[in-house]
Amino acid sequence: MKPMDKEEIKQLTGRIDDALKIIKLDELKNQRDELKAKSEQASFWDDNQKASKVMQKLSALDEKITDWQEISSEAKDLLELSDLSDSSLKNDLDKQFKKLKKRFEKAHFELAYSGPYDENGAIVSIHAGAGGVDAQDWASMLLRMYLRWAENSGFKTKMIDESAGEEAGLKSASFSVHGSLAYGKLKGEHGVHRLVRLSPFNANNLRQTSFAKIEVLPEIDEPETVPIDEKDLKIDVFRSGGHGGQSVNTTDSAVRVTHLPTGITVSIQNERSQIQNKETAMTILRSKLAQLQIQQHKENIAEIKGPNQSAEWGNQIRSYVLHPYKQVKDLRTGQENSDPKAVLDGDINKFIEEYTASLIKS
């Protein structure tokens, strides 16, 4: 590589200044100060769960602010040092510049995660589509893929609901993902995923195309974030069915919550108690409403319309071909991988990164 010159440092400093305007550093500092003041109140730890979330937000803000302040400061120092004529500093300046540029590119890449809920946890739901038993098997393969990815990435997951297929696989499954930028990283997986392979469920071993829909929602577990009027809710309780054992089926613990204005319905029967099922259902309902609010550009929950499910099914985002050739291709970014086995074992970071990069470019 050619040696770094002063003009390159000026260009990098300009890009850093532009980024600081985008992230609104002063506003971030104000948010940090507000959270810090809240954490110092005598009653702060009365609610451990809420306090932990505040501390997580405070830690994330601190890290982001410190990172950008250091990047900016280092750029200014390099600019000043580049005015010196001491040739013995040249090699050190080159190394510092390359290191700073790499650090800036990483921080700049993360600007794509600037959505209102990108730092939240995520709720991922998988629904088997057209293709019968093959589609239900495909749904279970996708569940395994995402759980493997989450584990390898240091995220924590929890199953919310699971409906087994009649012969094999899954009709549907939902799970939550917790960790830094969980929703921001997974939101690009929302859409229809297509599998082409030789069917293991067909006596003639014919080629089969199967579909599954992935729904990714930001986890909204704080009621004040998305306020819902109680009169807009219809809540039904019923006896849990399916897997779970006799103790699950002896009480009316399952809960169905319907948001009357939009027609959105959430049913949960995975937890043992009616209260837990209702809390989980309300979290998912708030998450669905928050996502619709973003998609429809509405300021108030009362203004949003119900979801268009048929449009979602037309949103095919990725194809996984196991026969007659091997390839996984994202239809939005063009990102490809010729090793479907690795992808289905959870190696999807390249697809996530390319989708994230496309958000920056747009």
Render pLDDT for 21-65 as a digit per residue (tens, 0 to 9).
888 899 999 999 999 999 999 999 998 988 988 898 899 889 999
Question: Are the beta carbons of 327 and 318 closer than 8 angstroms?
Answer: no
Per-residue pLDDT, 174:
96
Positions of E strands within 105-206 = 122-128, 156-164, 170-178, 191-198
**127 vs 84: CA distance, rounded Å:** 63
What is the structure's pLDDT at 249? 47
What is the rounded CA–CA span in Å between residue 267 and residue 111? 35
At residue 306, the pLDDT reads 80
Cis preceding-peptide flag for 324 (omega within 30 of 0): yes
Domains of the chain with bracketed CATH: 6-112 (1.20.58.410), 116-362 (3.30.70.1660)
pLDDT grade, residue 311 (50/70/90)?
very low
d(CA 185, CA 119): 9
Mean confidence (pLDDT) of the chain: 88
Q: What is the pLDDT at residue 86?
A: 67
Q: What is the mean pLDDT of residues 311-326?
A: 84
Helices and strands (H, E) in the chain, number of each type: 11, 11
- Arithmetic mean of pLDDT, 200-208: 84
Instruction: DSSP letter for 304, please.
Output: P
